Amino acid sequence: MAHLVIFGLGYTAARIAAAMQAHGWQVSATGSAGDIAFADRDAVMAALGGATHILSSVPPDRASGGDPVLDAYGEALRGRELFYLSSTGVYGDRAGAWVDEATPTIAQSGAEAVGGRRNARAEADLAWLNMGARVFRLPGIYGPGRSALDRVREGKARRIDLPDQVFSRVHVDDIVTAVVAALTQDAPPGAYNVGDDLPASGNAVTEHACRLLGMEPPPLETLEDANLSEMARGFYMENRRVANGKAKRVLGWTPRYTTYVEGLAALL
């Protein structure tokens, strides 16, 4: 029986786990909802000993910039069937231009992230690629309980007055089908962008959610007046469109929710 070990059983990885169990795979995982404690080295090594495939959804450590999984268990992962959930943030700001897997990442180009810091995501992304992993670069993730509909209902939606700002997004279920395809089809190592077919502004998504709910959109705010956290401000400072053609060609994957319109309609 195929045995998948997941590091970090969070929002997305838990859905991947359920899908693989439905395919008849054994799944073990670390994380608050998992069955293995990350710090219990004996338990982790025992699970890895029986694993046929390994997936990490653990982000790099913000303080050190290191990857916790590779730092703790990297030697035990060498030569294994590896899969890693990364971020399209590895591409940095591209002034609205399209990026694909051949676009240099910040780690590869030596550029620096917003605020003059290294892009830890890009560093981790490159480390996993160097280990021979299948790396899934994910844009803004939305799904049940985590969408523009929820933010509007809760009064937390924002509209920032940045007319040219655009980014990509993906429904969590479409991440699952892409990763399942890679796991079950022995996909070649490398990076895969997994996003929908219509990059759009955050304002457009918020406004559409408001229309669906019959609510007034929140007022426009300038970036300076919005009083955003450093992380949120950094998000708005990046502007890019992410192409998903490689995942379609190589994995035979097509997003079920091709745009936020279909995604929000399904969630509603």
Write the DSSP assignment of 2-68 as a string of letters. Answer: -EEEEE---HHHHHHHHHHHHTT-EEEEBSTTSSB-TT-HHHHHHHHHT-SEEEE-PPPPTTT---H
Please give the residue that has the higher pLDDT: either 232 or 37: 37
Average pLDDT, the chain: 93
- Side chain identity, residue 127: A
| pLDDT above 90 (res 228) | no
Query: Is the confidence at residue 231, as pLDDT, over 80?
Result: no
Residue 70 has pLDDT above 80, yes or no: yes
Contacts with 169 (C-beta within 8 Å, 6 or more apart), sequence order: 139, 140, 141, 142, 195, 196, 199, 200, 205, 260, 263
Domain assignment present for residue 90? The answer is yes
**Residue type present at position 152:** V
pLDDT at residue 49 is higher than 70: yes
Task: Give buried/exposed letters for 219-235 (b at 16+ CB in 10 A, else e).
Answer: eeeeeeeeebeeeebbb
Cα angle, residue 179 at apex, residues 106 and 34 outer, rounded to 5°: 95
Asked if 178 and 150 count as a contact pair (C-beta separation under 8 A), the reply is no
Digit-coded pLDDT (tens) for 237-264:
889 999 999 999 999 999 999 999 999 9
Is pLDDT at 111 greater than 70 in this prediction? no
237-263: b (≥16 Cβ within 10 Å) or e = ebbbbbbbebbbebbebebebebbbbb
| Residue 164: inside a domain | yes
Residue 212 burial class via C-beta count within 10 angstroms: exposed 0-12, middle 13-18, buried 19 and up: middle
Q: What is the CA radius of gyration of the chain?
A: 19
Checking if the pLDDT of 115 tops 50, the result is no
The single-letter DSSP state of residue 235 is H
pLDDT at 224: 86
Cα–Cα distance measured from residue 185 to residue 164, given in angstroms and rounded to the nearest whole number: 39
Q: Is residue 113 part of a domain?
A: yes
Is residue 56 pLDDT above 70, yes or no? yes
Q: Which domain holds residue 167?
A: 81-267
More confident residue, 182 or 163: 182
Residue 159 three-state SS: strand
Lowest mean pLDDT among 109-118, 141-150, 187-196: 109-118
Number of domains in the chain: 1
Q: What is the pLDDT of residue 110?
A: 59
Asked if residue 97 is part of any domain, the answer here is yes
**Within a domain: residue 259?**
yes
Q: What is the pLDDT of residues 7-39, one digit of tens each?
A: 999 999 999 999 999 999 999 999 988 999 999
Which CATH number do you get for residue 251? 3.40.50.720
Count of residues in the chain: 268
Q: Is the pLDDT of residue 116 over 50?
A: no
Q: Confirm whether 127 is domain-assigned.
A: yes
Cβ atoms of residues 137 and 88 within 8 Å: yes
164: DSSP letter: T
Dihedral-angle region of residue 205 (phi above 0 means left; psi in -120 to 50 means alpha; beta otherwise): alpha
Inside any domain, residue 18: no
Which pLDDT score, from 0 to 100, does residue 105 have?
94
**Among 8-17, 49-58, 160-169, 225-234, the least confident range:** 225-234
Report if residue 236 sits inside a domain: yes
